[in-house]
Structure formats: C-alpha cells, structure tokens
Structure 1
Amino acid sequence: MKTRLMLACLMFLLLTRCAEYTERDAVITLETGTLTHRIQAEGELFAVNSISINAPQSTRGPRFIAEVAAEYSSVAPGDLVIRFDATQLERSLRDADNALAGVLADQQFKGAQQAAELTNIGLDQRLVQQEFAFADRFSIDDVQIRSRLEILDSLQNKEFLGEKQSYLTWQEQSFASRSQGELDLLRLQKGQQQGLLEQAQSGLAALEIRAPHTGILLYEANWRGEKPEVGRMVFPGERLGSIPDLSLQHLRLQIIEQEAVGLAAEQQVRFVLTSRPEQVLEGKILSVGQVAQSRERRDPRRYIEVVVEPAAQHSFFLPGAKARAEIFANTLEQVLTVPLQAVFSDDSGQYVWKKYGLGFQRQPITLGAKSLTHAEITSGAEAGDTIALLDPEA
C-alpha cells in the first residue's frame, strides 16, 4: 500500500512538472501564415566595365615609377596615369646601339679579310695553273736531248704542281665553309643586338600609361600590401590597378554556402551602402555562383558569389563601396510554419513534440520549403496543434 502511494505521488509530481513546463513559453501553437526566406549578406560595388592597368611587357627586367597620379582621382581619355623612369632604358638603348655598331664593324672587317684571303687563294691557283701549263708544254722526255736526272726532275715538278693545285682547291673549299660559319655567327650577333635595340626603343615609347576612357583611378596592392608610388619597382606585366567605367556598376555579395539555399536569378534584393545607411536601395539578382570558394586562408567557411543589378545607377556609387544586403529568396503565402528549433530528427526521420493532454508525444512530420528560422510543414501536423520548442525528454 505504501509502495502504491509513493508511485502515485511520483506520477503526480511528474505530471505537475509537465504542467509547469507547458505553462512556460516553451510551447507554440501552429498557425498558417507567410513563410519568407530572407538571406543577409555583405558585399561591395564593382564596375562592370573596367580597364586593367599593367606594367608594359616590352622590356626585360623591372622598372621604377617616376610619376603617378593620385588614387581615386577622376581621369579623362589621354590623362597621364603612370610614367616610368627612363634611365635604365636609355642605358640599355645606348649599350645595344654600341654593341650593334661593334658587330657591324666586325662584320665589315671580316668581310674585307675574307675577300683578301680569297683573292690570294685565287692568285695562287692561277700561278700554279700557269706553271703547270708551262711545265707540260716544254717537257722533253728524249734522253738524247736531256739527261735522265733532268727528265726525273721535270716529272717531279709536274707532280708537285698537281698536288699544290689540289691543296689550293681544298683550301678554297675549307675557306668557304669557315667563312660562312663566321658570317652566320656575326649575323646572329647582329640580330640579337638589333632585337635588344628594338626592345629598348619600344620600352622608351611605352614609358607612359594614359587613361583610355573617363573613370576613376584605382590601384591594387601587391602581396606586401604596397600600392604604386614614386620609386617603387614593378615587373613586366604586373597588374597595378584599373580604371573602372562609373556609368554601370553592380553589387557583388558573398553568402555562406549553408545559407545560400533557394537563390536564383531575378530575386529581389534590398541593400544599403555603409556610407549611406539611411538610404535603402533595390535591385535584383543577375547570377548565382555555381561553386563555393574560400574567401580567406584561415576561414574554413565557403562562400557563394551573387551578382546583383541595382534598379538604378546613382552618382554616389563608387567601386569598392561596402554594402549590406537582404535577399528575398522565397515567399510562400498561407502555409503551416514551424520554428526550426522545434523540429527534431533521428534515424526514423523528422518529428515534433506534440501536446496530448498533460504530456507530449513524438509526431512525425514532413517539411517543405525552409528559411533560416522556419520551415513549412506539408504533412503530419495541422493548424492549432501545440508543440514543444524544447525536447521534453532532455
């Protein structure tokens, strides 16, 4: 009897605690209403049309900035943006010009030397031919007229002339091959110096960078955080900045991948610039990035890039201006909604704790569209049901 009494008291206490639970604001009554999926994001304005400013690639080695226009200044077509120092290029031009003159002098000297040597070989060949013809013409083999020693000496002289003629022929061929190699080397050196000369001349012609159109001047920092300034060294092809066209600007937003659910083109966007927080602007989504990317090396989160077209272009729009935006990703009218914190899940699926009398029971449900805070219930519950916002078993 005492045991039954203790059990009854225990049940009464549990029911009392359960009743106390329901009396607190830890329950909600399901109602139909509007489900609005809004996504908060941050980003900045950027110019759709922008001309990149790069250091010229027509020279070898780095350059030094001699003059630079002020950043954020307005420029018109033909205005000077950056002028580079010409000292190094003038030195390169002078060295290349001197080296080319030396190669041309060597080429002229080598040509004269080869012509003289070739003339000498030609003279020797003609002399040998004349001697050979004379020896052949006045050769007498009669032993009655000349002694045998004289006849042998005449034959040896003819043989010597023949060998000398062959040697001169070989010398002429060898000279042609050798002289051709020397001329080819000089022509190669000449072409190399001409290339350096033309490179220095084109570099001097590209000492100035001028604005191609009207816009605002923006500079980019290098990996050390340094922007273009007088005396800074830049390398060929290095990106120094840009001149954006201010007539058409869009908004680029970065949205955490987990929050970028349901984004699509043509969705409405409201945004404010941090410089003008009192003015609410409107726009629509132009494109949604397909691949999430990391924004910072130490940030594990990944972001989806969204491009927004403002409804109107304003004179106070500047590239790089920071903005806070709210995207209306989805709006559903007259749907049964539930806070996401009241939805639980296990291996069997999703469920809520539905109130029955003084207690709560699991009620399986099926969810539809979601926002960052609420979800649509498509089956398993109906309007008027009371559910717990916290797990009663916890």
Structure 2
Amino acid sequence: MTARPRNGATGRLRIAIPVALVAAFLFGGWTLRNKLAADRQGTWVHATRGDLVTGFEVTGTLASEATQALGPPPLTDVWQFKIAFLAPEGADVKQGMPVLGFDTTELQRRFDEKSAEADEARKQIDKERNDLSLGTKDERLKLAEAEARLRKAQLKLEGPPDVVGINDRKTAEIEFAIAKRESSAIKSRLGDLERAATARIALLESKQADARAIVDRTRQSIEQMSVKAPRGGTVIYTTNWRGEKKKVGDNCWKAERVMEIPDLTRMKGEGEVDEVDAGRVVVGQRVALRLDTHPDEEFHGTIVTAGRTVQQKKATQDPLKVLRVDIKLDKTDAAKMRPGMRFTGTIELTRARNAVLVPREAIVVSSNGPSVYRRGAFSVSLVPLRLGRENDKFVEVLSGLQPNDRVLVSKANDEEGQS
C-alpha cells in the first residue's frame, strides 16, 4: 500500500532531474552565446569612482625652474665664434667637465705672434744693455785717464811757488784746463749714451709688456674657449626661433645660447592655450597633464603666471595665436622628466568629486535614452542611465550603475572616439 507513492515520487524525480539539467544547459548555452556575442562587439571595462574634471586644453613643453645657459665666453676682442666641440645632447655630465668648445685657430695665431714679438723685444732689450755696457766702457776709461791728468795738474798747481817754476805752473794750468774740459765732455757723452739707451730700453720694455699682456690675455681666452659644466646635470641643446639646434661647425655670436644644463629636480611646464580659450585662463587654476613619452601617467600642477596678450605659437610658422602660461608642478620626477618634453593637459574649470564614471564610448542611445550594456553574472542587459557632466573621456553617472559594474565599450564607438 505504501510502496506505490514512493515509486511514483521516484519516477517523477527521475524525470525532473534530466529536465532541469537540460534547461540549465540550454540557459547556460544561451547566456554563454549572449556573452560571446557581446565580447565580439567590444571590450568590457569597469565603471570607476573618481573625480570628473572639465576644462580646456593646454599644450607645451617642460622646462627647468633653474637652468644654467651656456654659450660663447665673454671675451672683449672676439665677437664671432665657431663651435668645435659639443657634448652629446642628453649626456649626464659632472661639474667641471668640458661640454662646449670653440675654435681657437685665430687666438692661437695671435698667441704665437705676440709671444714671438715679446721674445724679440726681450732680445732687443738685452742687446741694448750690452751695447750700452760696451759703448760706455771706453768712455769710462777715457774719463778715468782725463780725471787722472786733472788731479796731476791740480797737484802741480797746488805746489809752493818756490818749488814749481813759472813755466811749469803755466804748463800745469793748461793741462788742468784741457783735462777738465775733456773730463766734462766725456761725462756729457756718457750721459747722452745712457739717456738714449735708457729711452730705447724703456720703449722696448713697453713693447714687451704690451705683447706679454696680450699673450697672457690670449692664453686666458684660449682656456675660456673650452666651456666647462658649472654643475652636474643633463645637457640640453637650445633652439633658435626657427626651432634649430646648433651643431659642430656652426657659427654663433657673442651672448648666443647654445646649450643648457638644467636642474632636473625642479621642473615646470611652459604651456600654450588656444586663443579662443585665453579668456578663461586664471592664475591659480589646477592643471592635469600627460607627457607624450609617458602617456599613462598623469601629473598635476597650478598656473602661476599667464601672459597678458596672445602671441604666435613658438617654434613654428603656424600663424595660430596662443596665450602662454607657466605651470608649477606639484612634484618632479627626475627619472621621467626632461626639458623639452612635450605634454598635453587640461586646465580645470569644474570638478565633480567622487563620481561614478564610465568612458564616453560606452554610452549608447536607446528608446529609454542614454544607456549602457552591463554584464551580469548570467546575462548582458541594456541599462538606462541618468547622466551628469562629461569631459572628452568620461561621463558622470548619476544613477543606473554602481562602481565596478562591467560595461561594454563597442569597437565602433571606441574607434570613433580615437579618431
């Protein structure tokens, strides 16, 4: 009596289990097919929570807040220089290392010429002194003889009259007068010789001193033509108004900048804002920027100065007018940042904090308005959204999604957004 119901329940169970398995298999297959079809249409990304910033574009290059510009040395008698040596751009140098050199051919020619002139003047001075010594030697002998005769005649004149006769006295007087005139004449000739020689020697010494001064100055100039790094850092070539950099063999003028050795621990952004957005620039605005060389990392800063007038875009023939701004970075990454690196950024106008964000490319238009395809555990569904603000990359979701929900970015929308 009791076995039949038990057998009937068992039979029903045997039928229900396969049916459930078939239904689960069919549902799983349908779900899998749905998901695979969606996967082929695009990429699944997570809705995120973060700040949505709206603003306008700024582009520019990095520069050091403290940089040492290097160029021709400040020589008083050289105006045009020819580059003979350049340290490689990007090279890391230490303080005191030669980084820039100029041709010294003309200075070396002047050095050799004036050195020879100074040596010749020295030889002439030595010759004049030798000639003076030889020229005065005979005269001094004659002077000594004349003075001896003068003393001898004077002794005769000083003798007693009863010892020196009248004739001898007259002879002594004549000899005394002759010796005196001769001695005086010799002294005069000696004085003339010495004065003339002294004048010639003084002239030669002046000539030698001038030549030696030029030699010393030229030697210093030659040393200055090799420019050494005033501090350690990285070599950066500067560009002229045409965007050209100097190379070995180029000429440059006095005070022209050839290279810089910047302080890589203190970098800033030198930005340019399109003329149409110039009126929206305010000192103190926040800036988010990405380097072309490191596009995946975002850096932040603040506008500290802004130009008063628009100017032509730098290093280009493009007539586009821009407003120039200086951006103080919140931090400097010396390993990734180098002067001259280009960046693209956004100057902040508004900021929605702690918002739910999805890529613009994930939004589709349906009969219910803006929507996204959301991936659930067992299905893909079209979810209508209420949207807030947006920028060029993200849209604020006010309702309809939670952070970490997976939404579909279709290939068509993604390609359209990238183009």
Bin for the TM-score computed over the shorter chain: 0.5 to 0.7
Deviations 1:230-258 (A, max 9, x none): 222345664321122323211234688x9
SS in 2 for 1:231: coil
Q: Give yes or no for contact 1:215–1:245 (8 Å, CA) kept in 2.
A: yes
- The structure 1 residue matched to 2:71, chosen from 54, 71, 90, is 54
1:317 matched to 2:337? The reply is yes
For each residue in 1:322-365, what CA deviation from the matched residue of structure 2 results, as whole angstroms up to 9, or x when unmatched?
Answer: 4566556999xxxxxxxxxxxxxxxxxxxxxxxxxxxxxxxxxx
1:146 aligns with 2:146: no
1:95 paired to 2:113: yes
Answer yes or no: is 1:250 the counterpart of 2:271.
no
Q: Is the 8 A contact 2:84 2:102 kept in 1?
A: yes
Contact 1:268 1:282 survives alignment (8 Å): yes
Q: What residue identity is the alignment partner of 1:194?
A: R
Q: Which residue of 1 aligns with 2:326?
A: 307
Cα distance in 2 between the residues matched to 1:156 and 1:224: 97
Q: CA RMSD, aligned part only?
A: 4.9
Cα distance change, pair 251–225 in 1 and its aligned pair in 2 (3 A): closer
Secondary structure, aligned partner of 2:99: strand
Percent of aligned pairs sharing the same letter: 18
Query: Displacement of 1:163 after TM fit?
Result: 3.8
Specify the alignment match of 1:230 in structure 2. 248
Unaligned stretches of 5+ in structure 1? 1-36, 297-301, 332-394
Tell me by how many angstroms 1:160 deviates.
Answer: 4.5
Shift in alpha-carbon separation, 1:138–1:237, aligned structure 2, 3 A = farther
Secondary structure of 2:338's counterpart equals: coil
Query: Is this contact kept in 2: 1:75–1:217, CA < 8 A?
Result: yes
In the alignment, the residues of structure 2 paired with residue 69 and residue 113 of structure 1 have an alpha-carbon distance, to the nearest angstrom, of 56
Rate the CA distance shift 1:86–1:144 in 2: closer, same or farther, 3 A: closer
User: 3-state SS of the aligned residue for 2:260?
Assistant: strand
The 8 Å contact of residues 156 and 172 in structure 2, kept in 1 or not, is answered as no
**C-alpha separation between the residues in 1 aligned to 2:133 and 2:182?**
21
TM-aligned CA deviation for residue 311 of structure 1: 1.9
Please say if residues 107 and 183 of structure 1, whose CA atoms lie closer than 8 Å, have aligned partners that are also in contact: yes
Does the 8 A contact of 1:262 with 1:329 survive in 2?
A: no
Confirm or deny: 8 A CA contact 1:75 1:211 kept in the other structure: no
Task: State the distance in 2 between where 1:281 and 1:84 align.
Answer: 40
Distance 2:191 2:56 in 1: 87
Whether the aligned pair in 2 keeps the contact of 1:273 and 1:324 (CA below 8 Å) is yes
1:179 aligns with 2:197: yes
Given that residues 219 and 227 in structure 1 are in contact (C-alpha distance below 8 angstroms), is that contact kept between their aligned partners in structure 2?
yes
CA positional deviation for 1:84: 4.0
- SS of 2:258's partner is strand
Residue in 2 that maps onto 1:123: 141
Q: May I ask how many residue pairs the two structures share in their alignment?
A: 288
Matches within 5 A, 1:152-301: 155=173, 158-206=176-224, 208-211=226-229, 215-221=233-239, 227-234=245-252, 238-253=256-271, 263-264=282-283, 266-273=284-291, 281-285=299-303, 287-288=304-305
Taking structure 1 as reference, are residues 167 and 324 closer, same or farther at Cα in structure 2, changes over 3 Å only?
farther
What amino acid is the match of 2:128?
K
Determine which structure has more spread, i.e. the larger CA radius of gyration: 2
**Is structure 2 residue 91 aligned with structure 1 residue 74?**
yes
Output the TM-score relative to the length of structure 2.
0.52
Greater percentage in helix: 2
Using the size of structure 1 for normalisation, the TM-score is 0.55
Could you say what secondary structure the match of 1:307 adopts? strand
1:254–1:303 CA contact under 8 A, matched in 2: yes
Distance 1:101 1:218 in 2: 44
1:263 Cα deviation from its structure 2 partner: 4.7
Corresponding residue of 1:6: none
Q: Determine the C-alpha separation between the residues in 1 that align with 2:97 and 2:211.
A: 34
